[in-house]
Structure 1
Amino acid sequence: MSEDEKLSAVLGELYDAVLNPGLWGFALQRVAQFVGGRDDELQFDDLAQKFLLAGHDLGSQLQYMLMHSELYGDFDPFTDVSSLDVDEVLSLLELTPHRDQSAQRNYQERKRSGRGAAAGGGVDTPVAESRQLGTSASKSVIDGEMMHRMALVAPHIRRAILIGKVFGRKLSEAATFSSILEKLRAGLFLIDRDGRILHTNAIGRRILNADELLQIINGRLVACDAGVNRAINEAIARRGSLDFDKEGIVLPLTTENLERHVLHVLPQGPGGDIRIGTPGVVAAAVIVCDARLEGLIDEAVIRRAYRLTPAELRVLIALFDVGSISEVSAFLGISKSTVKTHVSRLFAKTSTTRQAELVKLVAGYRPMFST
């Protein structure tokens, strides 16, 4: 295999590792083999975050890594590589020459751990990284050929790492958003311009499984009510994009058991993706909410917000769940006059004047997320 073919194979392994982080160990091993160092040792330091990726440190002995960090961390010559040019390659001996007696102990400890010499580089702003390559005991000094090969690989290592970080951030963001959306008490569907479902949360999947309000047909979101389905399609398909009001549309949904729900169709926000009319790109969010007021109430939050006594809170929740003062009186087993006294105090504390306002206030404290 020619040198160009070897380099091409190494670079292929590097960029494969970007897409599959589990391959980083193998990719770094191939780099070490290509450069000419020990085929089981290559270290990656992130100087911006001040940590060493032990999972990508091949062949090192943990005791020496810990000892060096504790005893010589403040004197590590590689802490100064952030001042180098991007992709500049150097050896450890250029930072700690033999004649510098003050560096001898640091150098000897690195040599004992297998790092008698090293090649670093790949500095970028604001992110700085260095790669350190160990050599075998029989070849403790990096020669010109190793430096040349490291210079060929270093730019690609840096580029692969930066691309991997971008991918990592995007995957982390997607996982975070997905986790949050899964806990919403409303059904959520992200759809493209053709109505294809790109993502749905747990409540959304439950709605689809019930097959009473919405269905999935050929990958598309379809309302069981023909009129509602037509309104959704007209709103989304208009001129091939979402050009209706920024607030979207609101449609009523009712099951055969007369359970009422509200469906919201929300377009992608202003300044969104220019590819919004492209299949496979989110064009709208469809949200389905239960129109009933029944459900869990954050009683503790209401009590703290309005400084209610336990008795006042019980009356307030009973008004929400039961209804009139006489019904609350019978439900709680207290006199009507006592209920009226508590209600008057509730009006004063919540700045309301009608029972309907109290019910609306309580409804606003329904949890956003399911437990």
Structure 2
Amino acid sequence: MEMLSEFRFPYVPATDRTPASPPDPLQPGMLARVLDEIDHGLLLLDLTGRILHANFPARRELTSAHTLRSVDGMLCASHAGSQPKLRQALKDAERDYRSIVELDDDPEDPLSLAFIPLAALHGAATVDTVLVMCSRRPGCESLTMQMFARSKRLTRAEQNVLARLCAGHGAEEIACLEGIRMSTVRTHIKNVRQKTGSNSIREVVYRVSRMPQIVSALRIASEN
């Protein structure tokens, strides 16, 4: 009887080997990874409001509990006055109606939600799940900013100023936050505008905000 260690598979030349099949994008694990790369909060609910899945931005939203929160696995508004809006949106979704819900109890932290009914798989006509899309929070992802800055050969200081501008800070605030003079801030802004070939710093901020907001893998890892 041959020992297992002596067993040999026939050699197959590299040119004759069948390439590995790409992963099925509909596999749950792959789909979850894709959703985590989207910088809008996305939640999948059943018709009772139970959370079936939440991507990274949605989990961050729930953890902050400023506008939304999870209570025993159920999606709830942080302010009691907004809870009826969520219940009505779920009822509308059950009837296959799409709706927009605005949660503005906190004027400084408003959030809009789109409720999108999803029919069951395998050709069934009835709705059994609801996709909730959250409005995107203002600002730009740091990884997107870094990639843009690298492509335009911005210095670290220029990148920092641009990041502050994208976050909505004015020149005086930036000077205070960065601990530099106003004249230095103006110089950095001028350099950013010239290096990016933009007519104004507002144009630069708009361009960056329109870019794909790439989520850092480190950000996701730190949450797990």
Q: Do they superpose with TM above 0.5?
A: yes
* Correspondence 1:1-371 to 2 at 5 A: 61-63=3-5, 65-66=7-8, 69-70=10-11, 173-182=27-36, 187-201=41-55, 204-205=58-59, 207-208=61-62, 211-216=65-70, 220-226=74-80, 228-238=82-92, 240-244=94-98, 249=100, 251-253=102-104, 260-267=109-116, 274-275=123-124, 277-278=126-127, 281-282=128-129, 284-288=130-134, 291-293=137-139, 296=142, 298-320=144-166, 323-329=169-175, 331-334=178-181, 336=183, 338-350=184-196, 352-364=198-210, 366-369=213-216, 370-371=219-220
C-alpha separation in 2, matches of 1:194 and 1:264: 17
User: Conserved in 2, the CA contact under 8 Å of 1:264 and 1:286?
Assistant: yes
C-alpha separation in 1, matches of 2:60 and 2:158: 37
Cα drift, residue 190 of structure 1:
0.2
> TM-score, normalised to structure 1's length?
0.42
Please list every run of 5 or more consecutive structure 2 residues that lacks an aligned counterpart in the other structure. Answer: 14-22
> TM-score, normalised to structure 2's length?
0.62
Kindly name which structure, 1 or 2, has the bigger radius of gyration based on alpha carbons.
1
Aligned AA (1:333): I
User: Conserved in 2, the CA contact under 8 Å of 1:193 and 1:276?
Assistant: no
The percent of aligned pairs where both chains have the same amino acid is: 22
Please list every run of 5 or more consecutive structure 1 residues that lacks an aligned counterpart in the other structure. Answer: 1-58, 75-167
Aligned AA (2:131): A
- Count of residues in Structure 1 that have an aligned counterpart in Structure 2: 207
SS of residue matched to 1:242: coil
User: Conserved in 1, the CA contact under 8 Å of 2:102 and 2:113?
Assistant: yes
C-alpha separation in 2, matches of 1:265 and 1:193: 15
Q: CA RMSD in A?
A: 4.4
User: Conserved in 2, the CA contact under 8 Å of 1:189 and 1:201?
Assistant: yes
C-alpha separation in 2, matches of 1:351 and 1:288: 33
| Greater share of helix | 1
Q: Which has the higher contact order (CA 8 A, sep 6+)?
A: 2
C-alpha separation in 2, matches of 1:341 and 1:177: 45
